[in-house]
Amino acid sequence: MTKKFKRPDYTATANTQISLGEAIPANHLARFVVDIVAQLDLTAIYARYAVTGGEAIAPEALLALLFYGYATGKFSSRKIEKATYEDLGFRFVAGGLHPDHDTIAHFRKTFLPELQGLFVQILLMAQLAGVLKVGNLSLDGSKIHADASKSKAVSYRRLKELEIALREEVVRLFELGERADQGEVRLPEGLVIADEIAFRKERLENLAQAKAVLEARAKEQYEAEKAEYEAKIRQRDEKARKRNHKPRGRKPKPPEEGPNEKDQYNFTDPDSRIMKNSTNAGYDQHYNAQVAVTQDSMLIVATSLSNHPNDKQEAEPTLDALPPAVGRPDSVAMDNGYFSAKNIEASEQRGIKPYIATGREAHYKRVDDLLGQLPQEPPADASPKEKMAYQLATAIGKEIYRLRKCTVEPVIGIIKEILGFRQFSLRGLLAVAGEWCLVCLAFNLKRMHTLYMAHDLF
């Protein structure tokens, strides 16, 4: 007995008429993005279009494509263009248009400054719908790969070696040119001394610029390390004074001025920096991206981005990025990478109560923790570290800090693992900061879609 099979009919399938209205459900993310974009005030974007010229694609369509693309893991303008032909969701969002990748890329690059305003508008929509309440925040960051090749990075030591070698070559070329003019030597066919000298002089200018950047970075780093060193010395001396004996342990080593021989400059994207990978022990060209997330809704309410390998300097810029229109949070939780007296003071000055880990979390609970006993309350003249440790040991401190792990860390994980955003498409600090804002805006749209569905708002 022969088994019967249902055979696909590819000819009939190729001629099937598809209705997007039926194929895209009413609660689909594509419909949600189009609906949100329709409510945005795009006056600032429209104002930058010239009155004359050809018929341009409406900003609403391009914005919706970028938002939907980033929310679904398509960050390349070429992939977005292709998806307007092949993907039903993108076909719906494009509204029958098929912008080419150059148009999409140019629009993204041109209107990066306007994204922050749109980011705030979308947060206000979420707040109006009742799905965003700014209460307690969790703040964290992650290293994200720059659009820069590690092979194009040169160390400070190598820059000095190249500079010496090029200057010697320029001198040799001048001597060779003089000897050729006097008829002492015959130059190979095609060799133009003036062109070779000009080429090396241009390289020398580029090397000088790279050296100047590394020296400026080193000075900035020295000032930050010097302030941290002086704070440690004061803390050490204060502790010794309280205990009435000489300071114990090794004295902190003062920072050294000037660039390190291994400091690197990248010619592809000079603003990016060599940073340690979070996934392995290697180093690569990265940017340091930061987010502040509400513990209630897991929506991103503030973003910042820098090329600092250390998180300690990133708390203030991220807190400053909080939109006043959204409201002031009650508290903020951060891991020990942000701990400093300066960050505690900065949070308190903004009316936000900080909960910052003072060290690594223990792998087990102490007996006092198991019994629910609080440590002894520190005196008024206690160090910021002692006061913060007590604050974290309170019931409210434990709860707020506990939520940090299950709010901001999953958000960063979703952006990198689910959406797949692991490398920037743009170059330069300002452009990359704008793209990071776009990524966070797209994440918020995806999260809002889930929240609206859960509350039957869409």
Listing DSSP states for 2-37 in one string gives: PPP-PPP-HHHHHT----HHHHS-TT-HHHHHHHHH
CA 299 remoteness from chain centre: 16
Q: What is the CA radius of gyration of the chain?
A: 29
User: Would you call 113 helix, strand, or coil by DSSP?
Assistant: helix
Q: CA-CA distance, 350 to 125, in Å (whole number)?
A: 24
Q: CA-CA distance, 113 to 97, in Å (whole number)?
A: 25
In this structure, the answer to whether residues 253 and 366 fall within a common structural domain is: no
User: Would you call 372 helix, strand, or coil by DSSP?
Assistant: coil
Q: Which residue has the higher pLDDT, 241 or 14?
A: 14
In this structure, the answer to whether residues 302 and 246 fall within a common structural domain is: no
- Is residue 52 very low, low, confident or very high in pLDDT (cuts 50, 70, 90)? confident
Q: Where are the beta strands (DSSP E) in 88-205?
A: 136-145, 153-155
Residue that finishes a domain, picked among 227, 243, 265? 265
Note whether residue 281 is domain-resident. Answer: yes
In this structure, the answer to whether residues 283 and 398 fall within a common structural domain is: yes
In this structure, the answer to whether residues 201 and 288 fall within a common structural domain is: no
Note whether residue 8 is domain-resident. Answer: no
In this structure, the answer to whether residues 226 and 352 fall within a common structural domain is: no
CA 288 remoteness from chain centre: 5
Cβ neighbours of 248 (radius 10 Å): 9
- Is residue 244 very low, low, confident or very high in pLDDT (cuts 50, 70, 90)? confident
- 458 pLDDT more than 90: no
Residue that finishes a domain, picked among 221, 242, 265? 265
- 361 pLDDT more than 80: no
Residue ranges of the alpha helices (H) in 251-394? 315-320, 341-349, 367-370, 384-393
Q: CA-CA distance, 270 to 389, in Å (whole number)?
A: 40
Q: Which residue has the higher pLDDT, 240 or 369?
A: 240
Note whether residue 41 is domain-resident. Answer: yes
CATH number at residue 410: 3.30.420.10
Residue type, 123: L
- Is residue 258 very low, low, confident or very high in pLDDT (cuts 50, 70, 90)? confident
Q: What is the 3 state secondary structure string of 264-293? A: EEECCCCCCEEEECCCCCCEEEEEEEEEEE
Average pLDDT estimate for 436-444: 97
- Is residue 224 very low, low, confident or very high in pLDDT (cuts 50, 70, 90)? confident
Average pLDDT estimate for 290-295: 96
- Per-residue pLDDT, 32: 97
Q: Which two tokens stand for residue 390?
A: 């007590």
Note whether residue 164 is domain-resident. Answer: yes
In this structure, the answer to whether residues 306 and 416 fall within a common structural domain is: yes
- 262 pLDDT more than 90: no
Q: Which residue has the higher pLDDT, 102 or 191?
A: 102
In this structure, the answer to whether residues 247 and 392 fall within a common structural domain is: no
Q: CA-CA distance, 324 to 437, in Å (whole number)?
A: 17
- Is residue 364 very low, low, confident or very high in pLDDT (cuts 50, 70, 90)? low
- Per-residue pLDDT, 372: 60
In this structure, the answer to whether residues 289 and 410 fall within a common structural domain is: yes
Average pLDDT estimate for 18-33: 92
In this structure, the answer to whether residues 385 and 403 fall within a common structural domain is: yes
- Per-residue pLDDT, 365: 59
* pTM for the structure as a whole: 0.86
- Is residue 181 very low, low, confident or very high in pLDDT (cuts 50, 70, 90)? confident
- Per-residue pLDDT, 281: 63
Residue 31 contacts by C-beta under 8 Å, 6 or more apart in sequence?
A: 24, 25, 92
In this structure, the answer to whether residues 255 and 306 fall within a common structural domain is: no
Average pLDDT estimate for 239-268: 80
Average pLDDT estimate for 235-242: 76
Q: Which two tokens stand for residue 201?
A: 């002089």
Q: CA-CA distance, 82 to 58, in Å (whole number)?
A: 19
In this structure, the answer to whether residues 104 and 93 fall within a common structural domain is: yes
Note whether residue 352 is domain-resident. Answer: yes
- 12 pLDDT more than 60: yes
- 366 pLDDT more than 70: no
- Per-residue pLDDT, 191: 87
% of the chain with per-residue pLDDT over 70: 95
User: Would you call 445 helix, strand, or coil by DSSP?
Assistant: helix
Q: Where are the beta strands (DSSP E) in 153-268?
A: 153-155, 264-266
Average pLDDT estimate for 1-20: 86
Per-residue pLDDT of 268-281, as tens digits, reads 899 998 888 766 66
Q: How many domains does the chain have?
A: 3
Per-residue pLDDT of 297-343, as tens digits, reads 999 999 999 999 889 899 999 999 999 999 999 999 999 999 998 99
Note whether residue 9 is domain-resident. Answer: no
- 356 pLDDT more than 80: yes
Residue 357: half-sphere exposure toward Cβ, Cα within 13 Å: 19
Its domain, for residue 138, covers 133-148+276-454
Average pLDDT estimate for 64-84: 96
Q: Which residue in 360, 312, 323, 289 sits closest to 137, CA to CA?
A: 323
Of the listed ranges 83-97, 100-114, 362-376, 396-410, the least confidently predicted one is 362-376
In this structure, the answer to whether residues 88 and 158 fall within a common structural domain is: no
- The residue count of the chain comes to 458
% of the chain with per-residue pLDDT over 90: 53
- Per-residue pLDDT, 368: 56
Note whether residue 38 is domain-resident. Answer: yes
Distances from the Cα of 407 to the Cαs of 136, 140, 235, 293, in angstroms? 11, 10, 33, 7
Note whether residue 239 is domain-resident. Answer: yes
- 376 pLDDT more than 80: no
Q: CA-CA distance, 82 to 101, in Å (whole number)?
A: 9
